[in-house]
Structure 1
Amino acid sequence: MGNNIRQAHRRQWRVVLVSCTALVVFAPAKSLAQQAENTGPGIVLDTITIDGRDDDSKSIVATKTSSGSKMATDILDTPASVSVITAKEMQQRGAQSVEQALQYTAGVSTDFYGSDDRFDFFKIRGFDAYTYRDGLPLGRPFGGLREEVYAYDRVEVLKGANSTIFGVSDPGGSVNYVTKKPKSEKFGEAYVTGGSYNRKEVGFDFGDNLTKDNTLSYRLTGKFRDADAEYDYSRDDEKFFIGGLTWRPTDMTSLTVVFDHLHRNGVPGSGGHPVGSDFSRSRFFGEPDYNYRGTDRNTVSVMFDHDFGNGFSFNSNARYSDAKTDFGYAYIASTPNDGSTIARRDFFGNESSNENFVIDGRLQYEVNFKDIESRTLVGVEYNKSSSSNGTYYGPAGSIDWNNPVYSGGPANLPLISSTRTRQNTKAVYIQQDLTFAEKLIATVGLRNDWLDIEERNRLNPEASGEADLSELTSRFGLTYKLTDEMSIYASYAESVAPPTVGLDPEEGEQYEVGVKYQPTAFPALFTASVYELTKNNITVTDPVTSVQSTIGEVRVRGLDLEAKAEITDSLSLTAAYSYLDSEIVENGGRGDEGNRPSFVSKHQGSLWANYKIEGSGRRGDVIFGLGSRYTGSYYFDNGNTTKTKGNVVVDASFSYEFLDKSTLDVNVSNLFDKKYVAYGGFGADFYNPGREIAVSLRRTW
């Protein structure tokens, strides 16, 4: 009952907060509008950059983002920690997955499940993260499908509790993928790649104008791969295609339609190795006849922008997607400790489908009045999804790891869970930026999400249920520009994650202060931030009754340091360090209070540097890249009974330009083939990814 009273008091406080904030926001806006009317003709502002992107194919340093407020904003003026991984950075490091794209980012941890390849696994500031595409929600990576990074111009990481911006999410942060769209110029690249694990791959990305007046442009991007994974009886095949058209009937209007298809035929993972053993990563103790991971998704995205002039603009994004995924495998369930070499195994399978339509519309108004600049954004969002999920589980034949004999796949694997979920979400939000004397920026954001959730249990209809929730989140920030190159900020932000029917939503809040430095002498961005992040109503499952309840609180106090810099024409670097002091504050009397949450390292850091030797005569440019990633020790469970030690992994790259705009690229991840147990403690060990080499021939124009 005490928790219900606290929730009621919090909702009452939020109602007062909305009312007061509305007065603060709209009263000045009304006054400014009256003043503007009295001063004569309306103010005509410069053309607004809608998506806020830099040229991500030519620099590792981004200066603008739309993830901080859904308005194109200088990162220097955003009261939050934002990291941007551009297309150039991903290409330099040879990133082939979301985890590889994110692994040099402050506050982000990856690869903590080792050779489990079902999903994109990453945490931000110690918590799972929600993902978005062009500002529209995709959902949690865990349980979803693995995104194709070649589809995106950039990956934006917004750290902290920020449901006010994108909607329901976890408190650690969010990842926003920005889709490749047509440009109003001719461009292109094509490549072929060969490498480790029989990898054979071709890809292309090109576009041009279809009309002489640049009103109609297209872009085609594709990637086709035939490969294996690092363990026996595996495959890693993919077919990906994306095509887009952009129509610009006037300088003030643009309409973009993008279709993409993603098909993957892979495997879910190695199935683990016996605890305490030291087998080669290639050894496989699963079942070749029951080892698959499939993905099939079709997506249509529509993006519309219009500038009315006089400071008014309207932007809208919509997306429809239809996705189907499945996986099945046998894994080592327990390793004997009596001297036997016979490991027990289980079968595990899943089939899921999801159909989703989401649309978001935003009206933005910008006006200047004396020493005050005002930007107001009002938006609405509608999100409808329908999904089904079936889980299969049962015993598999044991296996002798010294003499493995495969027994084949299951004839009939029991269905242990079958659900169908429908969710309708409606949201309205407002964001206000006020800049005083070009120095002090006040940022306020409010958002309310109405969630209508229906869950049907096909095996146990009595366990079905419905929920109708209304969740308000807020965000406040102050930024002060010490100079044109440096700013300091302080912020408070809230988050809310959609719950299981019958449970309260998981809620988070964060306090953060930071400093940003963006020199004008060369492209660079240096950031530092400290924060306290709390997540409440954590969902836990009783190990005896299997009943879920929301009892718990986790707190993380941390420090993030990050630098991206192109210091000279020859030298560029990316550096990051994070310190996370995490603690389970409440856990419903389960004895974990005071422990560290699982998979959260106290220290992690990375450094990547590129050095270019200018070409001379017939010799083209040569670029050497070298990187190092440190992940501190972390526990495999909240009980803090088993953990991995701290580890360092080294990556490298080499690029040589020949002819004109043709390059030979070599990328090596885990250069020294560092091997350690990334996940374990329950019956099997899962190693970190081993050394992988890729050699590409690339032609650009």
Structure 2
Amino acid sequence: MHTVQPFRQPRHRRTQIAALLASSAFAALFSGVVHAQQTAPESTTAEDKKDTTNMNRVVVTATSAPKSKMRSSVSVTDVDADRIKDFGARTEAEVLLLIPGIRTDSTAGSGGNANISVRGLPIASGGSKFVQLQEDGLPTVQFGDMNFGNNDYWTRFDNSVDTIQTLRGGSASVFASHAPGAVINYLSKTGKQKGGSVGITRGLNYNETRLDGDFGMKLAPDLYFHIGGYFREGEGLRHTDVTAVNGYQLKGNITKEFNGGKGYVRAYVKLLDEHAPANAQTFLQARLSGNTYTGFSKAPGYDGTRDSEMSPYNASVLSVNPATGGVVTSSLNRGITVKSQSVGLEFRNEFAGGFTVDNKFRYADNSSAFQAQFWDLQTLGNLLGTSGQTARYFNGPKAGQVVTAANLSAGLVSKGAAINTQSPDMGNLFNDLSISRQLKLGIGTLDVKGGWFHSRQNVQQRWSISERVMEAGRDGALIDLFDGAGAALTSAGLTGYNNQWGCCARDLDVKYTTDAPYLSLNLASGNFDFDGGVRHETFRAKGSYAGPKLVPGGLDVNGDGVIDGAEKNVYVADTANASKLDYKINYTSYSLGLNYRVSSDLSVFVRQSKGYRAIADRLLYSPFIDTAGALTAYGKTIAAAPVKQSEVGLKFRGRTDAVNYNVAATVFRATTEEYDYDQTRQDDPSKPGFQGPKLDVKGYKATGLELETGATVGNLGLNVNLTYSDEKLASSLFNPASVGKVQGGVPKWRYTISPRYAIGDAVIGATIRGNSWVYADDNNVRKVDGHYIVSAFVNYDFGRNITGSLNVNNLFDKVYPAAGTGFVGGSTSIVGGAETGRTISATVKYAF
């Protein structure tokens, strides 16, 4: 078993940290310390601490008019920064696990690439099709499921975030484009309340160090600013033996108020430059008991809870540029590289006559890369079959030896994707302008709000994805294959260049534009609050995209003058015959809600909504776009996925001499029909037009219950979130036999239980997240039992504004698959996927 070595900071890495601290931006951050020490930050009131589910918090995300949760006919959750830190979330996916109704892949790496969905809506082909991640009311990217560009690539939680407010269903259909399921809004601190902090977090049983800092204050009574960010580096949560995590984020804003506080202008800036691991593909040992996978444990020779797919013998790959045919050496250890430079401007003012104008603007210059090895796990016998092929180690300590089942480190091989995709332009522009006015009527007050949203999202990418054979295990070596006559079939483990998944020499440059006028009315009459809204979207797609073509006669990739092995199987993008993209669609969304306040502590609501999600880049390379770039007749019916949702809910808060408690419950029903295209699935060559496992048009339906509760009893606090969702496939264009079945890995029950207790200067607590059993896959025959993961923390106040904390994620080192699973090819004892094992970190923070 691998032992983590003590972390030694190489000189060049110390220089990176020093340079960052010496930069003008971070210097500005810490320069406020001298002035800020004399004034303590404003603390949360005792009454706010008792409001354990933030019922008093004003809803500002995707809603018609700011008002408290008790008066809102929507399901909204606020997760404060302190709770996220106590939870010990290591990735953005884990941050979102604290939100009821949100389902996310907890194994996603710290670089992103999570699958995110919301109650009742599917994760069909990766990413977050129906969920939008926002920062301060505008999306980070327009589409959450772009190939190699998911929205969590561009979002990082740090000390600049005050709270994460999530609206599920409801008015998201009217106040956000392409996000009918949920809007998750990271709300920034503004510095109106003076204070800040600086802290360092060190992984105690994993190799990662992180420096966090933030500061905000008033420069004048009507002028204030906030700046914050982080720098981190190390191996990450799993053993990689390289600096797999390295980078920083810096965010800042400055606000100028005017018009007696009725107006303000706020400028934002954000710099994100980082590379971090993607989703870890690992494996466990298990057995089948009846139709249930059970008995999970670490496989001999490989710790699926801590090891990764990275290897020093597979650290790079020769890549053929799909557009130019040039040869470069590309890393396979950088994971997801993200660079983002964005500026934003927010304006608000109340003019004469009662009209209020709001405008939010952001421009982002984004680029990224995805460079990693994916595993397709199988036994050696399964790989070689009866073809007479043989296998030899290409490199590593056994280089040149024949590969046998006995000398494989973990008994497995992989014939998976060596991915090198470059996205030089994923930039975007957003603007949301609205005008509102409140009218006094005889029956109450009517808030009228009209607006126009405009967005431009660029998707410029080059895909170079090759198939590679390697030993699956820690520090696995590359493997070459030979035919029965001894001729090489591979080159350094590669079976070809840009040959994976039948796709994978691509060059695309497309742009998506959305224009959406919207109108909402909110009537408050006595104890009733009625709101309704409508949004009309015009969605345009323009550009070009080229697919693969085989290079006749092959290509001498390594320059040795001989074309053999993988060099006979080389693909490049057919740019000379690139396909056009030029179409426009229109659709209208609506949402209607009614809230009734039975008392000051009890309200009930109902809501009916219909929204749409344009498919964007996942519609490319399908048979539903014709040679002129327009949609085919059938393509017009599936280019936007409709989502219908019905909700009935209540919100209640109670107080006794001993207990304060809050309850929010929502019963929901959701239906959708979507075009589903997953490039990583295999084509069915017997069917025309890519029909088969890769492509389908599916309908889904779900009913369920969402419960969010909180209570305080003296020094004890408790939050319990519970989601029940009965989700089924309602229709399938190409696989009608699957109707009535459930997606593999989707549980009916999900929950989090978070107790905490204050003892003197210490606070101890835990979060238990779990789920009921799931089907192992979409066939709905085999199952995986439910499981839970416990994370714990201890915070201690040392005085003089210095605090320390110890966080343990997966306290009991649970060995379990994160979702569905199944035996890998040829094995009856090894399954794929695993929860990350126990990770322990310590933080020391100074607040001022």
State the TM bucket, normalised to the shorter chain. 0.7 to 0.9
Partner of 2:561: none
Say yes or no: does 1:384 pair with 2:456.
yes
Structure with bigger strand share is 1
Identity in percent? 19
Distance 1:187 1:411 in 2: 57
**3-state SS, counterpart of residue 645 of structure 2:** strand
Alignment pair present for 1:539 and 2:671: no
* Whole-angstrom CA distance in 1 between matches of 2:783 and 2:315: 30
Q: Could you tell me whether the CA contact under 8 Å between 1:231 and 1:270 is conserved in 2? A: no
| In 2, Cα distance between equivalents of 1:405 and 1:220 | 46
Q: What is the rounded CA distance, in whole Å, between the counterparts of 2:47 and 2:227 in structure 1?
A: 16
> Paired residue for 1:154, among 153, 156, 163?
163
CA–CA distance in structure 2, aligned partners of residues 157 and 417 of structure 1: 36
TM-superposed CA distance for 1:160, in Å, is: 2.0
Q: How does 1:685-696 map to 2 (within 5 A)?
A: 685-696=832-843
Letter in 1 for 2:731: E
What one-letter code is carried by the residue in structure 2 that aligns with 1:576?
A: N
The whole-number CA distance in structure 2 between the counterparts of 1:204 and 1:331 is 35
Post-superposition offset of 1:636: 5.1
> Does 2:500 match 1:363?
no
Which moves more between the two structures, 660-669 or 310-319? Answer: 310-319
Which of 352, 373, 377 is the matching residue for 1:330? Answer: 373
User: Does the alignment pair 1:561 with 2:707?
Assistant: yes
Q: How far did residue 463 of structure 1 move?
A: 3.7
**Aligned mates of 1:452, 1:526 — CA distance in 2:** 43
Indicate the residue corresponding to 1:583 in structure 2. 728
Match status 1:419 vs 2:508: yes
Q: Aligned residue for 1:13?
A: none
Question: Residue 653 of structure 2 contacts residue 662 of structure 2 at CA under 8 Å; is this kept in 1?
Answer: yes
Letter aligned with residue 768 of structure 2:
S
Partner of 1:479: 595
| 2:758 matches 1:612 | yes
Q: Secondary structure at the match of 2:375?
A: strand
Task: Say if 1:593 and 1:55 are closer, same or farther in 2 by CA, change over 3 A.
Answer: farther
1:122-521 → structure 2 map (5 Å cutoff): 122-127=116-121, 128=128, 129-137=131-139, 138-142=141-145, 143-144=149-150, 145-150=153-158, 151-160=160-169, 162-183=171-192, 185-195=193-203, 196-211=205-220, 214-229=221-236, 230-234=238-242, 235-250=244-259, 251-273=261-283, 278=299, 279-280=302-303, 281-286=305-310, 287-289=314-316, 290-293=332-335, 294-308=337-351, 311-336=354-379, 338=381, 340=405, 341-346=411-416, 347-352=418-423, 353-399=425-471, 401=473, 404-406=476-478, 413-414=497-498, 415-437=504-526, 439-459=527-547, 461=577, 463-499=579-615, 500=619, 502=631, 503=635, 504=638, 505-519=640-654
Deviations 1:378-405 (A, max 9, x none): 1111111222122222221331649933
Which segment is superposed worse, 151-160 or 522-531? Answer: 522-531
Q: Deviations over 1:323-361 (max 9, x none)?
A: 111122223213128594341332123222311111011
**Secondary structure of the equivalent of 1:165?**
helix
**How much is the aligned-residue C-alpha RMSD, in angstroms?**
2.8
CA separation of 1:512/1:252 partners in 2, compared to 1, >3 Å: closer, same or farther?
Answer: same
Q: Which residue pairs with 2:716 in the alignment?
A: 571
Distance 1:444 1:401, change over 3 A: closer
Are the aligned partners of 1:119 and 1:146 in contact in 2 as well (CA < 8 Å)?
no
Is the partner of 1:88 in helix, strand or coil? helix
C-alpha separation in 1, matches of 2:784 and 2:462? 33
The structure whose Rg is larger is: 2
Letter in 1 for 2:201: T
User: Aligned equivalents of 1:188 and 1:410: distance in 2?
Assistant: 52
- 8 Å CA contact retained: 1:445, 1:475: yes
The alpha carbon displacement at 1:546 in A equals 2.0
Structure 1 residues 249 and 392: CA distance shift in structure 2, 3 A: same
Give how far 1:209 is off. Answer: 1.7
Which digits, 9 at most, give the CA deviation of each residue in 1:203-262, with x for residues without a partner?
111111223xx2221211021112212133352223111122111133222111111111
The residue matched to 1:533 in structure 2 has which SS? strand
TM-score of the aligned structures, taking structure 2 as reference length: 0.70
Equivalent in the alignment of 2:789: 649
SS of match in other structure, 2:744? coil
**Corresponding residue to 2:79 among 82, 85, 106:** 85
2:111·2:275 contact (CA, 8 Å) conserved in 1? no
Q: Distance in 1 between matches of 2:142 and 2:763?
A: 38
Unmatched runs of 5 consecutive residues or more in structure 1: 1-53, 615-620
Cα gap change, 1:555 to 1:400, in 2 (>3 Å) = closer
Q: Aligned with 1:551: secondary structure?
A: strand
Alignment of 1:18-167 (within 5 A): 61-62=53-54, 63-111=57-105, 118-127=112-121, 128=128, 129-137=131-139, 138-142=141-145, 143-144=149-150, 145-150=153-158, 151-160=160-169, 162-167=171-176
Is 1:677–2:817 an aligned residue pair?
Answer: yes
Return closer, same or farther for 1:114/1:297 CA change in 2, 3 Å cut-off: closer
Length, aligned pairs only: 637
2:234, 2:245 within 8 Å by CA — same for their partners in 1? yes
Shift in CA distance, 105/632, structure 1 to aligned 2, threshold 3 Å: same
SS of structure 2 residue aligned to 1:91: helix
Q: Kindly tell me: are residues 194 and 116 of structure 1, through their superposed partners in 2, closer, same or farther at Cα, counting changes over 3 Å?
A: closer
Give the match's secondary structure for 1:89. helix
Cα displacement (A) at 1:483: 0.3
Contact 1:297–1:324 (8 Å) recurs in 2: yes
Q: 1:61: Cα distance to partner? A: 3.9
| Structure 2: gaps (5+ residues) | 1-43, 122-127, 287-297, 317-331, 383-404, 406-410, 480-491, 499-503, 548-573, 620-624, 626-630, 826-830
Task: Report the CA distance between 1:72 and its aligned residue.
Answer: 1.3
Q: CA shift at 1:270, angstroms? A: 3.5
